Chains A and B, each alone.
Chain A
Amino acid sequence: GAGVSQTPSNKVTEKGKYVELRCDPISGHTALYWYRQSLGQGPEFLIYFQGTGAADDSGLPNDRFFAVRPEGSVSTLKIQRTERGDSAVYLCASSSTGSDTEAFFGQGTRLTVV
């Protein structure tokens, strides 16, 4: 596609439920990143994929958060037992090689846990 695509654009879920957020990176980009942006804050790193593998998951806040990228393209961020504090905009970014190249961001998924 022309840019990084994220679906859904908005997600409202009840506390305790499971959610999946999808990211479709720019075609051919091997590096994919997930960030979380709370209101009035800068994006906060969650996880980085190089190809199919999670090269750095040091930003995942706890074991309720998990992400996969099984074929090295689309990625899914999974959140179990959602809490109200998980409410934020989840941004995905991709870059062509992962080093020395610009990261392009998607529009984000606004997650609201009620």
Chain B
Amino acid sequence: GENVEQHPSTLSVQEGDSAVIKCTYSDSASNYFPWYKQELGKRPQLIIDIRSNVGEKKDQRIAVTLNKTAKHFSLHITETQPEDSAVYFCAASTMEYGNKLVFGAGTILRVKS
């Protein structure tokens, strides 16, 4: 089955700097890659996603890149703000039959002001 590795496990950046989180996946059939943000005690919320027919997607300060050949994808957050502090999870899915997500272990992002 699918296996998703995520790193780093923790990331501290200064406010205004960029943050990059990387994930690798094992199943070449995976074709949907969402990123979720989870604040302490709250539900995971989708912040951006990418499908395998696209190499890059951007939404304001957030971007995701996908390299299908290497089976890795990355989340980029620019001009970080204190409210970006949270745990970020990447996930992968085949989307072939339902949206069964396999998650990475998460990255704790701390933005220092």
Contacts and interface: CB of A to CB of B under 8 A. Distances in A.
Contacts of B46: 102-104
Interface stretch (A15-23, A37-45, A62-70, A73-81): A37-45
A40 B49 CA distance: 22
Nearest to A43: B103
Nearest to A98: B98
Given A102-B49, A105-B44, A42 B106 contact: yes
Given A40-B106, A102-B34, A105-B44, A45 B99 contact: no
A53 B32 CA distance: 24
B102 to A, nearest CB: 7
Interface stretch (B13-21, B78-86, B88-96): B88-96
Contacts of B105: 40-42
B52 interface: no
B45 A105 contact: yes
B102 A31 contact: no
Contact of B42 (A33, A104, A107): A107
A106 B44 CA distance: 8
Interface residues of B, number: 25
Nearest to B104: A42
B64 to A, nearest CB: 14
A45 B101 CA distance: 7
Contact of A99 (B97, B102, B106): B97
B44 A43 contact: yes
B61 interface: no
Contacts of B98: 31, 33, 48, 50, 55-56, 98-99
10 contacts: A33-B101, A42-B89, A48-B100, A56-B98, A91-B43, A102-B49, A103-B46, A104-B46, A105-B36, A108-B43
Interface of A: 4, 31, 33, 35, 40-45, 48, 50, 55-56, 91, 95, 98-108
